[in-house]
Chain A
Amino acid sequence: MAYLIYLLAFVGGFTIMSLELLGGRVLAPYFGSSIYVWGSIITVFMLSLSIGYLVGGRLSLHHPSLGRFAVIFLAAAVCLYPLVYFNEAIMVWVFERIEDPRYGSLVASGFLFIVPTVIMGMISPYSVRLLVQSTESSGQVAGFLYFVSTLGSALGTLATSFYLVLWFEMNTILTLLTLALLAMGLLAAIASRRVQS
């Protein structure tokens, strides 16, 4: 079961950074690709992750289970996929109302990325709760979990910026990320049934 949780954390890390990189591509046609656009994206992601950590930690207090962990992934997938259809409309809406591209990009990336990123931020603390069995090993478990999920983030960054954007359209990559989250959610759900039975 530990392996499965590490795999889930890895995919979570991969998806977060892949999405963050795509964010720059999504915003460029409306707000440019200047340093402040990246500033907006990184701010929104960091803020969302920090909230996600907080909420994920809170959730882990109440009957932590693999089944509930699966729900986090499924919810992330459900909140990520609409970006494929609505990102354009959201950006037009912001573009029409905010002239300054600094605040325009900040508000737009907020609308686009806060919800899925907050949910994905819950993955790490929840994983720690499912993995830790004793106080002595908690630091080691948390360390290994950060290692795995940050490694996923590194690979997500590299794969997206070097290859995925060369092979696929942006919406295709978003769909693939959604499918990866869905697959992980289903995997966790199936495993949780097995554990119960």
Chain B
Amino acid sequence: MNGRGTQRRRSGIHLLLPLLYAQFGALICSVSAPVEARIVHEERSLYSTILVDQRGSMLCLQFSVRRDQRNQSCFDQRKPDKMVFIYARMMMASLLLQPQPKRILMIGLGGGTLPMALDRLFPEATQDVVEIDEAVVRVARDYFDFAPSDRVKVFAQDGRVFVKRAVRRGEKYDLIMLDAFNGDYIPEHLMTREFLEEVRALLTPDGVLAANTFSISRLYDHESVTYANVFGTYFNLRTPSTGNRIVLAAPGGLPTAETLGARAETLSAPLKPYGISMRELLPMIREREDWDSDARELTDQYAPANILQSQ
């Protein structure tokens, strides 16, 4: 009895080992800078310390000097299309809700992985990229293959200010990607009901918002309630291992499972070069409320996001 139990447990461990290694690998890549990493660029900008390190053909962008800081964006020079990070691949799941975006708004640039992938996938589409830090734009251009053009326009300004002005001009976007938060500091005015209402006003009737946010701490409940109050039911994608969380919201209504499945089949081939697998993404798409719906909504009047995040 005892022996068999041990046996079974052991075989269980054997099954788990490759998984564990994969996790560990991901951890090394995402949590700390590898030991042999060489710093190729270091710059203190108005908003953060920007660090680019290189390990083999892999270039990674970080927004802090703390060595345990999570990488913001990584880029493999040998496979420039490949999306190294799960959160970037999860953001691309927004294409399952809006498969043909013509006008795209990106708030927060990072290494520029997402706008470049979208530019290759949809050469007819135009993009407005808003990044508060001009130094980030420079670094993305110099090290990460980011190439602004007539189709991809960059605006060096605060996301909220851009959105407010765009609403006044009556602009509309089919796809809005919000990727403005790094682990250290949350721009609190980009996480309020009023801001999300402005974003919603910018969406076309079948437009989609993809937001890369946080899935840890007390803030999770407050943030979730705020999104629900503005968008109703939304898709909530989470990874337990990396703590990433993507909100996919569509004011025009969420697609059914059949539609998702059909679109996944169509998109699977064009997305393959980016390392995006629908088998990985589809099971993550959930509608279930897994937050405390009594949590207080975040508004321009009440926005202590950074304090809530640290609790």
Which positions in A face B, CB cutoff 8 Å? 25, 28-35, 95-96, 101, 162, 165-166, 168-171
A141 CB → nearest B CB, Å: 39
A180 CB, nearest partner CB in chain B, Å: 19
Flag the segment in B15-23, B34-42, B69-77, B158-166 that touches A.
Answer: B158-166
Residues A32 and B299 in contact in the complex (CB < 8 Å), given A95-B164, A166-B304: no
Number of A-B contacts (CB under 8 A): 55
14 A–B contact pairs at CB < 8 A? A28-B160, A28-B188, A28-B189, A28-B300, A29-B164, A29-B192, A30-B161, A31-B161, A32-B157, A32-B158, A33-B188, A101-B157, A165-B303, A168-B302
B243 beta carbon closer than 8 Å to chain A: no
Bound form: Cα–Cα A35–B304 in Å:
19
Would A34 and B300 count as touching, CB distance under 8 A?
A: no
Instruction: A71 to B284: give the CA distance in the assembly, Å.
Output: 63
Count residues of chain B with CB under 8 A from any CB of chain A: 23
The distance from the CB of B136 to the nearest CB of chain A, in whole angstroms, is 14
Min Cβ gap B278→A in Å is 38
Q: Which residues of B contact A96 (CB under 8 A)?
A: 168
B234 within 8 A of A: no
Question: Is B187 at the interface (CB under 8 A from chain A)?
Answer: yes
Interface residues, chain B, with chain A CB atoms under 8 Å away: 46-47, 132, 157-158, 160-161, 164, 168, 187-189, 192, 194-195, 299-304, 307-308
Known A33-B188, A166-B304; further 20 A-B contacts with Cβ < 8 A: A25-B188, A25-B303, A28-B300, A29-B160, A29-B195, A31-B161, A32-B132, A32-B157, A32-B161, A32-B189, A33-B187, A34-B46, A101-B157, A101-B161, A165-B302, A165-B303, A168-B302, A170-B300, A170-B301, A170-B302
In the complex, which residues of chain A have a beta carbon less than 8 angstroms from the beta carbon of B188? 25, 28, 33
CB-defined contacts of B194 to chain A, threshold 8 Å: 29
Q: For B301, give the chain A residue with the smallest CB separation.
A: A169
B residues in contact with A166, CB < 8 Å: 304, 307-308
Residues of A within 8 Å of B301, CB to CB, are 169-171
Q: Which residue of B lies closest to A37 (CB)?
A: B158
A92 CB to nearest B CB, Å: 10
CB-based contact B299/A169 at 8 Å:
yes
Q: How far is the CA of A48 from the CA of B157 in the complex (A)?
A: 29
Residue of B nearest to A88 (CB): B300
A32 contact set on B, CB distance < 8 A? 132, 157-158, 160-161, 189
A29 and B157 form a contact (CB under 8 A): no
Chain B residues, Cβ within 8 Å of A35: 46
A148→B168 CA distance, assembly (Å):
47
In the bound assembly, the distance between CA atoms of A32 and B195 in angstroms comes to: 12
Contact status A29-B189, CB under 8 Å:
yes
| In the bound complex, CA of A28 to CA of B191 (Å) | 12
Q: How far is the CB of A170 from chain B (nearest CB, A)?
A: 5
Whether A33 contacts B189 by the Cβ 8 Å rule is yes
Chain B residues whose CB sits within 8 angstroms of the CB of A170 once the complex forms: 300-302
4 closest Cβ contacts across the A-B interface?
Answer: A32-B158, A28-B189, A169-B301, A166-B304
Q: Bound complex: CA of A25 vs CA of B304, how far in Å?
A: 10
Tell me, in angstroms, the Cα distance from A35 to B161 when the chains sit together: 14
Give the docked Cα–Cα distance between A34 and B164 (Å).
16
- Cα distance A168–B55 when bound, in Å? 47
Known: A29-B194, A95-B164. A165 touches B157 (CB 8 A): no
Closest beta carbon of chain A to B308's beta carbon, Å: 8
Hey, which chain A residues are within 8 Å of B303, CB to CB?
A: 25, 165
